Amino acid sequence: MANSAYTAAIQLLHEVVIPAGFMASVTDRDNYRRLWARDSVLAGLAALVSEDATLILASRNSLLTLAKYQGAAGQIASNIETTSGKVSYGGSAGRVDATLWFIIGCGQYYQQTHDSTTIEQLKPALRKAMAVAQAWEFNDRGLLYVPDTGDWADEYTRGGYVLYDQLLYWRAQQDYIKIMDQPLPTIERLRNLIQINYWLAPKATNSSYIYHQAVYNLAPTIPYWAESFSPFGYRSQFDSWANLLAGVFGLATQSQSNTVDKFIAEHFTEQTHYIFPAFYPVITPSDPSWTALKQSYSFDFKNKPHYYHNGGLWPMITGWYVIDLVRRGQTALAKKYLDAIAQANGDTFYEYLTGDAYQPGGTVKLAWNAALYILAERTLQAGKLLILTDT
C-alpha cells in the first residue's frame, strides 16, 4: 500500500506533466517552469518504476522533445520553454550532463518498455549526442573535459575532469551499446581511468591510466571519490551525488563503498538530519575560492555558506544513497534515510534545506525531489535495483 509521502510524490509528477513531457517544477521562478533535460530524465526514471501509464508517456514525450530541440553539433538542450520554443543550451557555459542524461534516459526507457518504435525515432539524436560527448574528450584520452559551471552544479566553482560527468559518460556508453547493439571499445578504458584517477586511498603506482602524473603525485589521499582534477591540481571536496552514483552504477568496489560509508556515517547522519549536502565542506568567505563562487550566478547569488550547492541539504541527492544501500542489502539503514527524505520533502518538495538551520530553501514543488523519493521507495520495496542495472 502506498504511503502518504509516495502518494504526494506521484501527485507532484502528475502536476508537472505537459504535452511535451515533464517540467522541472510548477513554480514559475528562474526558468524552473520549463522542460529541463536532467530533471525530466530523472522524472522519467521514476515514471518507469511507478507503472503509471500517464507518467510513462510523459517520459517518452520528454525524450522526444529533447531530441527535437537538439543542437546542431549534437548537444542536448539544458532547458526548453516549450510554448515559445525558446531553447537554452546553458548559461555561462554549456551543460555537459544534459547530453549524458539524455542518452541514459533513452537507454532506461528502452530497457523498461521495449518500445522499439520510439527508440528508432530517437536513434539519430542518440548518435549525434554520443558523437558530441566523445568530442568533449578533446585530447582523445578518455575523460570529458567539463567547462566551469558546465553541469548541474551550474553556480559552483568546479570544472575540468569532473567525476560526476565521467560517471554519467560511463553509464551513457553502457546504455548506448544496448540500444545500438554495437560495441564501444573505449568503455573499459573509461572504467579504469575513473578507478585510478578518482580513488586515491591508496593511490596507484606505475599505472598507465594515470592521467596527469605530476598532478596525481600531489593529490590528497582522501577516504572518498575525488570531486575533480584539472591541469592545476585536484579538488578535495566531497561531491555527494558523484560518490553515490559510483555505488549505484556498480563502479565502486565493496571496499570502496565501505570506506565511503564510514565517511558518511561520520558526517551526514544526525548532524544533517540524514540528508546529504551537495558538497562538503562549506566554502566560506575566508576560502580562496570564495571570490569566484560569489561571482557565479544567473539570477541572484544563492551560494551563501550552508545554502544551495554550498552546503545546502538535498533530498534528491539523498535518494541515491537509499538506492545504493538497497543494492548492497543494507535495507534498515536505507529506510532511515528514506524516512528523512519524506520528512524533508513534506508536501512542499523544497529544492534543498539550509545546512546550518535545516530551513527550506530554493524552489518549491521540485519534480526531481518527487522522482528520487519514488525511485528510492520502489527500490526499497523491491529489495533490489529496478533501473540502471546491467541487464
Question: Given 1.10.468.10, 3.40.50.280, 1.50.10.10, 3.40.50.2300, which CATH number is that of 4-382?
Answer: 1.50.10.10
Average pLDDT of span 253-269: 98
- Is the model's pLDDT at 365 over the cut of 90? yes
Place 1 in a pLDDT band, splitting at 50, 70 and 90: very low
- Is the model's pLDDT at 212 over the cut of 50? yes
Amino acid at 355: G
Place 298 in a pLDDT band, splitting at 50, 70 and 90: confident
Please count the CA atoms within 13 angstroms of the CA of 87 that sit on its side-chain side: 17
- Is the model's pLDDT at 203 over the cut of 70? yes
Beta pairing, strands 276-277 & 313-314: antiparallel
Beta pairing, strands 352-353 & 360-361: antiparallel
Place of cell 529489495: 383
Non-local CB neighbours of 154 within 8 Å, separated by 6+ positions: 90, 91, 92, 93, 95, 298
Model pLDDT for residues 312-360, shown as the tens digit of each residue: 999 999 999 999 999 999 999 999 999 999 999 999 999 999 999 999 9
Contact 37, 44 (CB under 8 A): no
**199 secondary structure, DSSP code:** B
What pTM was computed for the model?
A: 0.98
